[in-house]
C-alpha cells in the first residue's frame, strides 16, 4: 500500500461496523483498542466453553468406563456365588450333571431381557446351568422342540415353586447401578463365596422370597 493510501474498510469483529482496521494485515479486524479487547474476551470465553465441554465429555467417558468395569467385576463375583451355592447340583435346564464343557451361572431373566434389569445380581434369578444350555445350543422334546428356556421354567417351578417364577416374571424397576452399590454387593458376594468354599453353611437363605433389601439396587 502506497503512502497516504487509505486502508480498505472492513467489518470490525468487535462493534460489527465497517471501519478502517487497525494494523496492515489483520485476519481478525478491529477498529479500536476497545473492540480488540472485546474480541479477545469473546475468544477466551469461547475457548473456556469448548474446554469445559471437552472436559465434561472426557469425565463422562471415564465414569462410564469405571462403571462398566464395576459391573463386570460384580458380575464375576455374582457368577462365583451362584456356582458356590449350587455346587454339586445338575443343570437347571436339562437336569444333567454334565452339560457342555463347564457349569456356569444361568439367569432366568437374562441380562439382555431388559435394560438395567434390577434383578441382574439377585441370586433368586440365577442358578447353576451347563454351558451348552446357557449358550442356547441344546434342544429338548423331539418333535415338540421345547427350548432351554421352557425347560428352565419347568425345573425352576419344581425346585422353587410357582410363586418364585411369578415373582421373577415381574414387573421389576429399571436399576441405576452406581459404583458404590456395585462395590458393596461385590464384597458381599465374595465374602459368601469364601465361606462356602471353606465348607461353611450359607450365611442367609439367598433364594428366599422377601427381604434382601441390600440386594436391591438404586432405581430411576
Q: Please write the tens of the pLDDT for every residue from 59-98.
A: 665 555 688 888 999 999 999 999 999 999 999 988 888 8
pLDDT value, residue 144: 37
pLDDT value, residue 145: 36
pLDDT value, residue 15: 84
Asked if residue 18 lies in contact with residue 11, where contact means CB atoms within 8 angstroms, the answer is yes
Q: Work out the pLDDT band at 107, boundaries 50, 70, 90.
A: very high
* Cβ atoms < 10 Å from Cβ of 30: 22
- Residue 146 backbone dihedrals phi, psi, to 5 degrees: -75, 135
Tell me how far apart the alpha carbons of residues 91 and 72 are, in angstroms, rounded to a whole number.
24
Helices (H), the chain: 33-85, 131-134, 148-160, 162-168, 179-197
Residue pLDDT, tens place only, 137-188: 444 444 333 578 888 999 999 999 999 999 998 888 888 888 889 988 999 9
Nearest alpha carbon to residue 111 among 140, 138, 78, 88:
78
pLDDT value, residue 194: 92
Helix pair 179-197, 33-85: axis angle to 10 deg? 20
Asked if residue 176 lies in contact with residue 218, where contact means CB atoms within 8 angstroms, the answer is yes
pLDDT value, residue 155: 92
The Cα-based distances of 26 to 10, 21, 30, 41, 43 in angstroms read 10, 8, 8, 18, 16
Residue pLDDT, tens place only, 11-49: 787 787 777 766 544 556 777 778 878 877 777 777 777
pLDDT value, residue 141: 46
Amino acid at each position: 500500500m502506497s503512502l497516504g493510501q487509505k486502508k480498505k474498510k472492513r467489518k470490525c469483529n468487535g462493534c460489527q461496523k465497517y471501519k478502517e482496521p487497525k494494523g496492515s494485515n489483520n485476519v481478525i479486524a478491529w477498529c479500536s483498542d476497545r473492540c480488540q479487547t472485546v474480541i479477545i474476551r469473546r475468544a477466551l470465553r469461547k475457548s473456556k466453553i469448548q474446554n469445559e465441554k471437552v472436559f465434561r465429555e472426557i469425565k463422562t467417558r471415564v465414569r462410564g468406563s469405571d462403571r462398566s468395569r464395576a459391573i463386570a467385576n460384580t458380575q464375576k463375583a455374582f457368577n462365583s456365588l451362584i456356582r458356590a451355592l449350587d455346587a454339586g447340583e445338575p443343570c437347571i435346564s436339562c437336569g444333567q450333571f454334565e452339560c457342555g464343557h463347564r457349569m456356569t451361572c444361568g439367569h432366568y431373566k437374562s441380562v439382555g431381557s431388559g435394560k438395567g434389569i434390577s434383578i441382574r445380581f439377585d441370586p433368586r434369578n440365577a442358578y447353576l446351568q451347563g454351558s451348552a444350555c446357557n449358550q442356547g445350543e441344546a434342544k429338548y422334546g423331539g418333535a415338540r422342540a421345547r427350548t432351554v428356556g421352557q425347560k428352565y421354567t419347568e425345573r425352576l417351578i419344581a425346585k422353587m415353586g410357582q410363586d418364585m417364577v411369578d415373582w421373577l416374571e415381574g414387573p421389576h424397576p429399571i436399576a441405576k447401578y452406581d459404583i458404590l452399590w456395585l462395590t458393596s454387593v461385590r464384597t458381599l458376594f465374595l465374602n459368601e463365596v469364601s465361606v462356602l468354599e471353606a465348607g461353611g453353611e450359607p450365611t442367609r437363605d439367598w433364594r428366599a422370597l422377601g427381604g434382601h433389601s441390600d440386594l436391591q439396587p438404586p432405581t430411576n
